[in-house]
């Protein structure tokens, strides 16, 4: 598999539907009960919707029409607005759940970038991670769109198997790489990005989702991990801040907010420690808009553990 053959990557696009970029900051519309099933889902466009997990086992569904390869940014505001809700969100394509995300960015509030695989209707489900329900478990669902803002892809470097050799790429970037097991000791890829305070960055792997009639499907079962590391200290003192892995052949993604101007390192690997020329991927890295205020206390509660991360987010 030649990496150069996939340098013409998927062009992801912002949604061209009523509401438009930034509409998620408008006054939220209330959910309409009952909306506990996909058949009862509240119709939605880009914007904001207020709701509550009003009883044990309550689930709120919203439906939205998306164009193929349109990007939908889903962001729950619950803990950030003082609610005790530990929310989860799922995206359904008909009766098939295509994505699910729990806590990300060190808070109880999940957020997710969903790229529509086709034109059509999709369903967003909001529910509590536990069994509790009640009128105090409120949330605001923000639906917006975004775009990488670039279409040109670059190849990974040849010697990026360690933090010290991480490839430096700008934000935004589209990077094409391969986890090649023919390398001595197996293969992992490290990348370095320089961010500014307050920047919210998406790291999104395309492998299982990559669809091209002229290229065989990727066999990568992706696993990504974010590190903070001071290059003046040994790599063993690096701190893992987030990680995500492929589940049920759905690729991993992470969303990370820079607390201050700093460097962040991303590790890409195969979860099964496999590799080869067909273990290729496309990595999208770009900034996301801020849809609501986030109290600094949420970030102060984040637990980071040397060598082993708290598992703060996953796309399932």
pLDDT at 184: 57
Same domain, 29 and 134: yes
pLDDT tier, 2 (very low <50, low <70, confident <90, very high otherwise): low
Same domain, 196 and 283: yes
* pLDDT tens digits, one per residue of 163-192: 999 999 999 999 999 998 765 557 999 999
Same domain, 221 and 88: no
Percent helix, percent strand, percent coil in the chain, to nearest 5: 10, 40, 50
Same domain, 182 and 280: yes
* pLDDT tens digits, one per residue of 203-243: 999 998 877 777 788 999 999 999 999 989 999 899 998 88
**122 DSSP β-pair partners:** 64
Same domain, 28 and 61: yes
* Mean pLDDT along residues 73-95: 91
pLDDT tier, 127 (very low <50, low <70, confident <90, very high otherwise): very high
Total domains in the chain come to 2
Count CA atoms closer than 13 A to 172's CA, side-chain side: 16
Query: Percentage of the chain surpassing pLDDT 70?
Result: 84
Token couple for 138: 């409120």
Measuring CA to CA, which residue among 196, 165, 264 is closest to residue 224? 264
* pLDDT tens digits, one per residue of 90-105: 999 987 777 777 655 5
- pLDDT over 70 (residue 44): yes
pLDDT tier, 26 (very low <50, low <70, confident <90, very high otherwise): low
- 220, 281 in Cβ contact below 8 A? yes
CATH of the domain at 118: 2.60.120.380
Q: Which of 119-123, 136-140, 309-313 has the lowest mean pLDDT?
A: 309-313
Same domain, 133 and 176: no
Residue 8 lies in a domain: no
pLDDT at 23: 46
- 247, 316 in Cβ contact below 8 A? yes
Sorted by sequence, the CB contacts under 8 Å of residue 184 that are 6+ apart come out as none
Backbone φ, ψ for residue 18 (5° rounding): -55, 140
pLDDT tier, 299 (very low <50, low <70, confident <90, very high otherwise): low
pLDDT at 295: 81
Residue 124 lies in a domain: yes
In 78-209, the DSSP E strands lie at: 87-93, 96-101, 111-115, 120-128, 138-144, 154-155, 167-168, 173-178, 189-195, 200-206
pLDDT tier, 73 (very low <50, low <70, confident <90, very high otherwise): very high
Question: Which of 78, 111, 144 is a domain's end point?
Answer: 144
Same domain, 175 and 113: no
Same domain, 241 and 225: yes
Domain range holding 17?
13-144
Count CA atoms closer than 13 A to 241's CA, side-chain side: 23
Residue 248: CB atoms within 10 A of its CB come to 9
Sorted by sequence, the CB contacts under 8 Å of residue 232 that are 6+ apart come out as none
Helices and strands per DSSP (H, E), number in the chain: 1, 22
| 107 or 280, which is more confident | 280
Same domain, 176 and 114: no
pLDDT at 293: 85
* Per-residue DSSP letter, 68: T
pTM of the predicted structure, to 2 decimals = 0.88
Residue 103 is inside which H or E element, if any? Answer: none
Q: Which of 13-27, 62-76, 101-115, 272-286 has the lowest mean pLDDT?
A: 13-27
């Amino acid at each position: 598999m030649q990496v150069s053959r996939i340098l013409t990557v998927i062009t992801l696009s912002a949604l061209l539907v009523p509401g438009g970029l930034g509409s998620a900051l408008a006054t939220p519309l209330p959910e309409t009960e009952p909306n506990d099933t996909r058949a009862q889902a509240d119709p939605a466009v880009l914007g904001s919707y207020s709701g509550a997990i009003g009883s044990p086992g309550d689930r709120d569904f919203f439906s939205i029409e998306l164009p193929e390869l349109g990007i939908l940014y889903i962001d729950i505001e619950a803990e950030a607005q003082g609610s005790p809700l530990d929310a989860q969100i799922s995206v359904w394509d008909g009766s098939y759940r295509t994505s699910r995300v729990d806590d990300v960015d060190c808070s109880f509030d999940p957020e997710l970038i969903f790229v529509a695989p086709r034109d059509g209707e999709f369903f967003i489900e909001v529910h509590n991670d536990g069994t509790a329900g009640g009128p105090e478990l409120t949330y605001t669902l923000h639906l917006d769109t975004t775009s990488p803002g670039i279409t040109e892809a670059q190849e990974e470097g040849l010697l990026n198997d360690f933090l010290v050799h991480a490839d430096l790429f700008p934000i935004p970037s589209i990077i094409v790489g391969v986890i090649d097991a023919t390398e001595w000791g197996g293969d992992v890829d490290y990348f370095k990005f320089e961010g500014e305070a307050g920047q919210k960055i998406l790291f999104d792997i395309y492998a299982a989702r990559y669809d091209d009639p002229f290229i065989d499907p990727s066999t990568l079962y992706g696993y990504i991990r974010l590190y903070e590391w001071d290059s003046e200290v040994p790599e063993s003192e690096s701190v893992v801040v987030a990680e995500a892995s492929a589940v049920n052949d759905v690729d991993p993604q992470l969303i990370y907010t820079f607390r201050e101007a700093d460097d962040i390192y991303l590790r890409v690997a195969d979860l099964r420690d496999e590799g080869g020329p067909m273990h290729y991927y496309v990595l999208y890295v770009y900034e996301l808009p801020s849809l609501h205020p986030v109290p600094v206390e949420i970030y102060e509660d984040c637990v980071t553990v040397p060598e082993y991360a708290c598992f703060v987010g996953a796309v399932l």
